[in-house]
Structure 1
């Protein structure tokens, strides 16, 4: 009988390479926030994939990037710390984009780690067979990989194959988390991430890094759970963008986030949102601590 395997894995890659969407696809439920803007993942969210013969614990990391702020430096430190502690690393390389300097830089960074490195060619639903074949050949020249797996988190193609491959390289170990558990993130952190994702939809370029969310209070009542949260931005002009004309945008953000939080909690939710200005919070150690960084 084959031995049970369990261990930690993470997806790495430059920002917007499809890491969070892939994490959600493997776990089968939304746990990592996704956005079409780079640099949206800030918290290490663990998703647990349960299988009869293995347990794959996925650690979600921000994209490694050239830091311009104290927050950026802390995010990079977090990435490197995570890399040094996992058993398997999946390097995400989008099928629809040329391999660039950022990809080579990350491939070089992870080459010396003790983890098994797998190249994951993401977003294969966006290219034809010929383009995919070219990309797979180029990925093969990028470095030494245990395996190269093409996958689409959106269509689900090859997601099971990727899970099989990653599980194969985990150490023999008893189960690490109980059967019912799919993440060890506290619910209020997940709620804050859902609100932040909703606030990021459709905003202009300058805003994504400047938005942070803090869930101040959650009060479960008989018929409804009340969630009180603050959205933090760095400047009054950004506050106006988030709120929108006549408060219309904030209302949309609230209803989008509320639907997701209701799904998470399995209960009706009353969501109370306020937008606050914390001047230059990304550069202020005290503000960063308050906002959980």
Structure 2
């Protein structure tokens, strides 16, 4: 099955990256969000990203900015998803919000359309329960920035069929991605480890054991990581980090997942990281 048209729901950081990656690999994209201003910002971000990426252009990506943008339709109307073959959902990591989105798109999309949840922590089986196509729901945890990351984590829900898995693998291959298939569990593999690491790094900062800069330097210098845990938190978004760790805390009822009070305070203060210019570091 050669997927040509893909719906992307949510035009935040991840949705922008997914839409851009799809358009750059020859797919037609319908990018849907609830407000025109969000979509206008998304279009500008995609333009900026492609211009920046042109310095490191891969041969399999079209060089013409307008050619890429022409493949993306920006809309606030979910009805435009009725003929897509594949939907990738990227809305905020809040279950009530995700549940409403799936209840909305499930009757709109064709019966054969596959839903891929781009989530960092919410179980895929729970997401599938909000639809009438549980066998056609799969998790695809993309990494940020999407166009530059060659690997994703794919999650098999309780009802996910082998056909859905194979189609999703083909879809990812078309996007230039390799996938690792894992079983369903809150946080999956990557974020059960990563969120604990970031949360504990915030505790270290809160307890004044070290500065943010020195915490990150230790991980980069001692372990060879390209980014430290607090730099990574800023890249992902502190609000997303908090939502994810809260999902893990709720799901496992284990105190090791308790969110650091400093993390909560920073999110309350609107310090989300790179997405709005200030987190553990300041960005211009």
- Higher strand fraction: Structure 1 or Structure 2? 1
Is TM more than 0.5 here? no
**Higher Cα Rg: structure 1 or 2?**
1
- Higher helix fraction: Structure 1 or Structure 2? 2
